Amino acid sequence: MKSKQKSLKLPYLDKVVIDALNLFKKSKLPKLNLKYKRPLVLGSGNAAVTGRIIFADKDAIFADEGNYKQKLKAIKNIDGAILLSASGGKHAPIIAKDLKKRKIETVLITNNPNAEANQFVKKSFFYPKNTEPYTYNTSTYMGMILGKTKESPQKILNLIKKTKTPKNLKKFNAFYIIVPTEFDNVRELFQTKFDELFGPIINGRVFTIEQTKHAKTVVPSDKEFFIGLGYNNKLFGKKQNRLNVTLPKSAGPATVMALGYYIIGQIQKQHPNYFKNNITNYTKQTSKMFKSTIKPIVE
């Protein structure tokens, strides 16, 4: 079984980031002309986080598949729903069908023109994406964020090219990423990526600098590596166990997402193939859970 999984030759996350940015250099992204005054913005996992990033400047109610019914019950002036889902499957059609039954006008933001949830919404916005390993969801949500922020994919590529990642990351079994407070939502994307790629084997922690001040470093380890994105860390971890990357003034959430994912991909490359050796079995289990076919590669 393991040999079959290895033969898939899945790309590492850092390459997927580069491919996504090259895609968006030449792709036209949809414009979201939504007139809702107080929408319910919801999705599952990273889709929910992406919704919070895109609509951070709106008077929106943010929710996920677990708490959106409570939000609807508690808040009466919601005038529409914005559902985010890369695939438009799994929880998305269940939520969309329920919202339609409640007579709540819903739009879908997705990467899949054939999304199952399409049949239950008023309108769908389709974003371009690349073929990627299941769970990577890099081009999917990055495109949605870039559509809002208008950050330059080429400038992000230039920043990544200038970033010198250490070649000794395999020495470490714990990584701590520090981000500026304004990128707290992106922080959640990084945390999820550590979970997906390394599970319990590598400890990935991600906090803002303000969160870091609250007892996050009580117990030190010589095998923990600190990464400051937009924060010049001179305090946490040993000097030789630090990487600090200066962010340009134009940096927004897509820049930070791409840079962080790229560095996590470098960590992935320097460690055993935990993800690649297990993703096939995982997709088989997930297919049973969602009663649909989920493959290790998402076209």
Domain limits for position 100 = 30-126
For strand 242-245 and strand 123-126, is the pairing parallel, antiparallel, or unpaired?
A: unpaired
* Distance (Å) of CA 125 to CA 29, 98, 104, 129, 253: 9, 20, 18, 13, 21
* 44 and 111 together in one domain: yes
Q: Specify the pLDDT at position 6.
A: 52
Q: Specify the pLDDT at position 5.
A: 45
Q: What is the DSSP letter of 29?
A: P
Last residue of a domain, one of 96, 126, 156: 126
* 197 and 298 together in one domain: yes
Q: Specify the pLDDT at position 263.
A: 99
Cα 17 vs. chain centroid, distance in angstroms?
11
* 68 and 206 together in one domain: no
Are 298 and 287 spatial neighbours (Cβ–Cβ below 8 Å)? no
Q: Specify the pLDDT at position 264.
A: 99
Largest CA distance in the chain: 58
Total number of domains in the chain: 2
* 59 and 72 together in one domain: yes
CATH number, domain containing residue 154: 3.40.50
Per-residue pLDDT of the chain (299 residues; tens, 9 = 90+): 344 445 468 999 999 999 999 999 999 999 999 999 999 999 999 999 999 999 999 999 999 999 999 999 999 999 999 999 999 999 999 999 999 999 999 999 999 999 999 999 999 999 999 999 999 999 999 999 999 999 999 999 999 999 999 999 999 999 999 999 999 999 999 999 999 999 999 999 999 999 999 999 999 999 999 999 999 999 999 999 999 999 999 999 999 999 999 999 999 999 999 999 999 999 999 999 988 899 999 98
* 137 and 220 together in one domain: yes
Contacts of residue 15, Cβ cutoff 8 Å, sequence gap at least 6: 265
* 58 and 87 together in one domain: yes
Q: Specify the pLDDT at position 292.
A: 87
Bridge partner residues of 175 (DSSP): 204, 225
Q: Specify the pLDDT at position 277.
A: 95
